[in-house]
Amino acid sequence: MKKLAGGALGYSGSAALLSMRFREFAARRVLVGAVCVLTLFGLNVYVSLKLFGCEYTRSSRSTEGNFIAMSRLRMEHSGQLEWRPYWAARMPIQHTHSPLMPATVAAVGTQAGWTAALEGASEGAVRRALARTTGTVRLPAGIIEVPVELAIPRGAHDLEVTGDPAGTVLRATASFQGRAILSCRSAARIRFSRFTVDGNRASLERRAGLPPYVAFAGFYSNNGILVEQAAGLTIQDVSFRNVASFPILVAASKDVLIQRVVIEDSGSRNEKGKNNTTGGILLEEGTTDFRVEDCRIRNVRGNGIWTHSLYKSPRNQRGRIAGNQFENIGRDAIQVGHAVAVTVTDNTGKRIGYPAGEVDVENGGFPVAIDTAGNVERSFYSANHFEEIDGKCIDLDGFHHGEVRDNVCINRGRPEDYPFGNYGIVMNNANPDMKSEWITIADNEIDGTLYSGMLVIGSNHKIVRNRLRNLNLARCNDNRARCTWLLATEPEFLRSGIYLARGAARPDPARANRIEANEVSGYGIAQHCIVAAPGVSLAANTVVGNRCGVSSGK
């Protein structure tokens, strides 16, 4: 029994040992097989490494290009399977070359956000790529000559057009035809980023005046980017140069972000060689919920950044113009036109109203650092800083129920340096639907105006703690040859610190206003500090605690 038992036990032990060795052998075979498979896969990856990053292949002896094309088709035109590729005897795409593979690549690419790059592509290839209605189009590196407007189809949505990291330039040809180099209409969630637009102004400038009673988008051609009736627009890190009309023109759109844009050497002139408002960023015809931030704009013939709507059109609403820089602007650095609830803050600029030879005096285009037009309410101008303004610092034509705070305008030159010099801050009421009322003007600094410091009309304004210095550089007390405006009827009009007027475009005498704790100085200002026009009662306003200096001016 023991022997039998011992023999049985020995047999069991041998079987266990054999089983263990077999498992070790199998494991080694699996490991060796895995190493071989991975090695072979790695070798294939190494050999075809470029194919993992390329979008097009020049090799005509390989089918990779076919598979790329089929995968891209499914990405760009999901559900549209009518394509019959010529290399597959015109078979329907769903029956061609293992359809699961391109379908899988397309699904992964869509989720991963792969782009349709156009390496080395022509203008025609760019135009075909922009015919997409969704996805991402990466423009090729280099200069692309554009002869005809690149129009994104109506109904496009969730589309991004971005430049190559090495630099992409879309340049209008000398014979360019179109409203803009890039345009879209009735689109949603469109984004442009990281490329340059060269408008070829030297060849395409057309001398034209201001439009008749039509929107600017329907009047000027040769713009940079034109967007109409969009819901969701982003333009970031795009540069514009030499654009004949508007580098950016947005009409009747909502949810607009324009950020870190650079604009240089743009805008055209009218028949007399004066600016015609073009050259900057225009948002018009009821554009809402917009932001224009951190842009750099220089050497622009017309306005830098502005809003505009026709009298009977919806007003622009809920906007923010902030952190932008301006230099050498021929008309207004910023204009808020026909708008509600627009904030203008932390902008800086210098040399507004230059070059003087292109200022549109004949059409009333006197330069202003921050201008207003139309009917503008519930808006705020704050913490802006401008220097060397050959015009006005702030014009409040149509402005009511809003605030102007902590702004600075400084001129350091001689009187002859400002041929279009004017007041510091001016109220006006050209729009018939508004009244100049309930404006707070507080803690602003105006240093160096050719004429008076501030013109006030209307009622219930609070004008407090402003510093108005070096006023009346023209010395209108003595230099009557230069200061002839209203001299016969209102001799104090150009030589006062703060002038309470009878009205502006329409009668509206200054009354029920509080003018308190302001510092006012300049040439002859001690004798003409706060003055009421003929027919206006100074006593009808509260005037207390103001300090009037005796500065001799510059």
- How does pLDDT run across 340-388, given as a tens digit for each residue? 999 999 999 999 999 999 999 999 999 999 999 999 999 999 999 999 9
Average pLDDT over residues 76-91: 55
State whether 131 and 84 are in the same domain. Answer: no
For residues 251 and 370, membership in a common domain is answered with yes
Angle at 362 between CA 360 and CA 363, to 5 degrees: 75
Q: What angle do CA 401, 407, 409 make, to 5 degrees?
A: 125
Q: Is the pLDDT of residue 482 over 90?
A: no
User: Total domain count for the chain?
Assistant: 2
Whether residue 7 is predicted with pLDDT greater than 50 in this model: the reply is no
Q: Which pLDDT belongs to residue 155?
A: 95
- Answer whether 342's CB lies under 8 Å from 335's CB: no
Structure tokens at 174: 């000398």
63 vs 173, higher pLDDT: 173
Task: Note whether 95 and 242 are same-domain residues.
Answer: no
Which tokens is 115 given? 């782009």
In a domain, 69, yes or no: yes
3-state DSSP helix/strand/coil % of the chain, to nearest 5: 20, 40, 40
**Is residue 150 located within the same domain as residue 189?**
yes
Residue that is last in its domain, among 114, 134, 153: 114
193 & 314 share domain:
yes
**pLDDT band at residue 405 using 50, 70 and 90 as cut-offs:** very high
182 lies in some domain: yes
> Can you give the pLDDT at residue 90?
54
* Residue-level pLDDT at 553: 45
Same domain, 392 and 451: yes
Q: Do 241 and 94 share a domain, yes or no?
A: no
| Strand ranges for 63-128 from DSSP E | 116-117
508 and 429 Cβ atoms separated by less than 8 Å? yes
Measure the CA–CA gap between 215 and 21, rounded to whole angstroms.
87
**R_g over Cα of the chain:** 34
Mean pLDDT (the chain, rounded): 88
Using pLDDT thresholds of 50, 70 and 90, give the confidence band for residue 25: low
pLDDT value of residue 226: 98
Model pLDDT, residue 89: 57
Angle at 302 between CA 300 and CA 306, to 5 degrees: 105
Give the per-residue pLDDT at 490.
86
Q: Which domain holds residue 442?
A: 125-548
Lowest average pLDDT, out of 114-118, 166-170, 236-240, 279-283, goes to 114-118
Length of the chain: 554
Q: What is the mean pLDDT of residues 461-478?
A: 94
Confirm whether 76 is domain-assigned.
yes
Count Cβ atoms below 10 Å from residue 505 Cβ, excluding itself.
Answer: 13
Rounded CA-CA distance 199/552 in Å is 48
Give 4's pLDDT tier (boundaries 50, 70, 90): very low
Bond from prior residue into 355 cis (ω within 30 degrees of 0): yes
Indicate if 414 and 506 belong to the same structural domain.
yes
Helix (H, G, I), strand (E, B) or coil at 527: helix
- What is the per-residue pLDDT for 346? 98
Q: Please spell the DSSP secondary structure of 179-246, one letter per residue.
A: EEEEEEES-EEEEEES-EEE--HHHH-------SSS-GGGT--SEEEEEES-EEEEEES-EEES-SS-
Please, which pLDDT band fits residue 37 given cuts at 50, 70 and 90?
Answer: confident
Structure tokens at 354: 């230059």
Q: Is residue 403 part of a domain?
A: yes
- Is the torsion defined by CA of 119, 125, 127, 130 positive or negative? negative
Query: What band does 47 get if pLDDT is binned at 50, 70 and 90?
Result: confident
Mean pLDDT of 502-512: 97
- CATH number (domain holding residue 226): 2.160.20.10
- Residues in a beta bridge with 399: 376
Residue 547 identity (one-letter amino acid): R
pLDDT of residue 360: 94
Mean pLDDT of 414-421: 94
Instruction: Clarify whether residues 86 and 193 are in a common domain.
Output: no
